Amino acid sequence: MNTQLTDRFLKYVSFDTQSSEESASCPSTRKQFALAEYLRDELLRLGLEDVEMDENAYVYATLPANTDKPVPTIGFIAHMDTSPDCSGADVRPRIIRNYDGKDVVLDPAQNIVTLVSAFPELKNHIGEDLIVTDGHTLLGADDKAGIAEIVTAIVYLQEHPEIEHGKIRVGFNPDEEIGAGAHLFDVEKFGCQWAYTMDGGEVGELEYENFNAAGAKVTVKGCNVHPGYAKDKMVNAALIATEFAQEMPQDEVPQKTEGYEGFYHLTGMQGTVEEARLSYIIRDHNRQVFEMRKKVLMDMVERFNQRYGAGTVLLELSDQYYNMLSQLSDKPHITDIAKQAIEEACGFCRVIPIRGGTKGLPCPNIFAGGLNFHGRHEFVSIQSMEKAMQTIVNICRITAKR
């Protein structure tokens, strides 16, 4: 068992790096700088070259090639932030050795339990060593497992110079969980012909078809009047916002979709009589359907303004990223290398669509081993992390051989 990998992961999850959709800065929360600075210093201690943390907390570094062969420069990427959906402060992880397949009690005092009936994926990890939470925060395997796997793989390559590899670039970014991780990622500076993100879930999975993505902010303007004199005068923004949310397609939401199916996801809602705000993300693998989804939202806003008066409902709509399949269709070697690397590490490779996104360069997504992201029932198998780390090493070796 690679104790370096586990220790590294446990150190990273001690940093609270929760991002925020309510912030316009990058990173969206200042606390993400703490992990970025730690990673910068760690990479410097490990002797990597071109180590840099920029003003937006993006961290870059280089492991030089150890061969004179003309090998393509490839990269590995992971994100530092954790989801706004659940607290990432004061994470208290616990290791369950040789998991027995039963329900996992996270906090016996408050009866917080991860039930196998609700999370049957636990059965796939019987006999393994699981890292779980105490039931009061998320764990942060999304995506600190990916960071730990990349850094540990780099150390492994340094310790095994007999494994030939080309120039390897490393990139760690903030704000992925709010759809902004790719916005200021310097693809030109990264200087790779292609890269891989270590941000997937179950062991053995490879993803290279991702969502087209947009973010939407719906603002409702109301008119507050003393409730005793409000007849025909008050416009309650909070009620209109609730009505708006109810009239959105109710079956096209994350909890009712899977695979290639797109969705509208209400990620936040705040409001008073005077003003209310709804935050949505829009996702679809199909670009044409994606454009139709955005039009649904625009038509909703127009309809509500006809109902309640022009200017009552305002919409800010912006694209975030697009399906990377178009970038990979004429570069099969990128996914072929990943498939071979995963098969060698895991004994199989399962290709599935990403219900998420990626960076602005050819960049398939490889499993990092965590499951049940963004909530208190998140866990990661140490053995899965080890296989992900070995997959990275395999990719570097296979790329050099090709």
Active site residues: 81, 176
DSSP class of residue 233? T
Buried b (16+ CB within 10 A) or exposed e, 230-241: eeeebbbbbebb
Q: Side chain identity at 116, as an amino acid letter?
A: V
Judge whether 140 and 88 are in contact, CB under 8 Å. Answer: yes
Spatial distance between the Cα atoms of 253 and 242, rounded to a whole number of angstroms:
16
What's the rounded Cα separation, in Å, for the pair 147 and 79?
7
Q: What is the distance between the alpha carbons of residues 188 and 182, in angstroms, rounded to a whole number?
A: 13
Dihedral Cα 226, 230, 234, 237, nearest 10 deg: 60
Strands (E) located in 306-400: 313-321, 350-351, 365-367, 370-371, 379-381
DSSP string, 288-329: HHHHHHHHHHHHHHHHHHHHH-TTSEEEEEEEEE--THHHHT
